[in-house]
Amino acid sequence: MIERGLLIVLSGPSGVGKGTVRKAIFSKDDVDFEYSISMTTRKPREGEVDGVDYFFKSKEEFKSLIEKDKFIEWAEYVGNYYGTPVDYVEQCLSQGKDVFLEIEVQGALQVKNKFPEGVFIFLAPPSLSELKKRITTRGTETADLINNRMTVAKEEIEMMDAYDYVVENDEVDLACSRIQSIVVAEHCKRTRIREKYQRMLEVE
């Protein structure tokens, strides 16, 4: 029987660098995760591609998918819906592939209820002023949206205790290494490696 893959959930406030860190991790040769592309009703930003960055949906399409139970989790975030498609994630996990989600906090907590065996990582900013600087410098949100996202960010930071790990994103390379080390450690804790040593001890 194939052992199920690991579900890795990277979450944290808007602008902390989840997307940047995720892309840096996926660019490494020694990383073998599947990225679950989310669905959203948000309009594409300049340069974003449907089916690569997100599956962009209308609100009607999204609501119909909710009714058909097509999401592991979904959340309304600052006026738009975001959700993780269930079919792709289930298919990967059952094939023994590790799946990486990059989602906001309400969604991560829903996933934790459904998949308590997942690995939940909160990406934290070095400070609130640095967080605001990062969202502002990215240049994708209006001043109002930046303020809304900062209000939500403070509530999200209060939820960090619900996660298995908190990783500070002070430098992208350091944050990537910390996350990769967590995944390696989690694999070691689980059956793959433990069973190998158990079999060795049985033979002794």
Ligand X SMILES: Nc1nc2c(ncn2[C@@H]2O[C@H](COP(=O)(O)O)[C@@H](O)[C@H]2O)c(=O)[nH]1
Ligand Y SMILES: Nc1ncnc2c1ncn2[C@@H]1O[C@H](COP(=O)(O)OP(=O)(O)OP(=O)(O)O)[C@@H](O)[C@H]1O
Question: Can you give the binding site for ligand X, defined by CB under 6 A?
Answer: 14, 18, 38, 42, 73, 75, 77, 82-84, 102-104, 106-107
14 marked as part of a ligand binding site: yes
- DSSP one-letter code for 161: G
* Partner from ligand X, ligand Y, none binding residue 41, C-beta < 5-8 Å depending on class: none
By CB under 6 A, which span of 18-26, 27-35, 42-50, 87-95 interacts with ligand Y?
Answer: 18-26
Closest CA to 182 of 196, 194, 167: 167
Tell me whether strands 98-103 and 55-56 are parallel, antiparallel or unpaired.
Answer: unpaired
Amino acid found at 95: Q
Amino acid letter, residue 103:
I
Report if residue 19 touches ligand Y, rule: CB under 6 A. Answer: yes
Least gap, CB of 201 to ligand Y (angstroms): 43
Residue 16 in marked binding region: yes
Between the CA of residue 58 and those of 12, 55, 144, 203, what are the distances in Å? 25, 10, 23, 59
79 vs 116 by CB, closer to ligand Y: 79
The length of the chain in residues reads 204
Q: Is 17 annotated as a binding residue?
A: yes
Count Cβ atoms below 10 Å from residue 42 Cβ, excluding itself: 15
47 annotated to a ligand binding site: no
Residue 125, token pair as written in the block:
């900013």
Q: Select 31 or 150, whichever has its Cβ closest to ligand Y.
A: 150
Q: Which of residues 128-187 bind ligand Y (CB under 6 A)?
A: 134, 137-138, 169, 171-172
Beta-ladder partners of 101? 9
By CB under 6 A, the count of residues binding ligand Y is: 13
- Which residue number, 61 or 171, has a Cβ lying nearer to ligand Y? 171
Q: Residue 42 binds which one of ligand X, ligand Y, none, with CB within 5 to 8 A depending on kind?
A: ligand X
Residue with tokens 């906090």, as numbered in its chain? 105
Name the DSSP class of 14: T
Binding residues: 12-19
Interface positions with ligand Y (CB under 6 A): 14-20, 134, 137-138, 169, 171-172
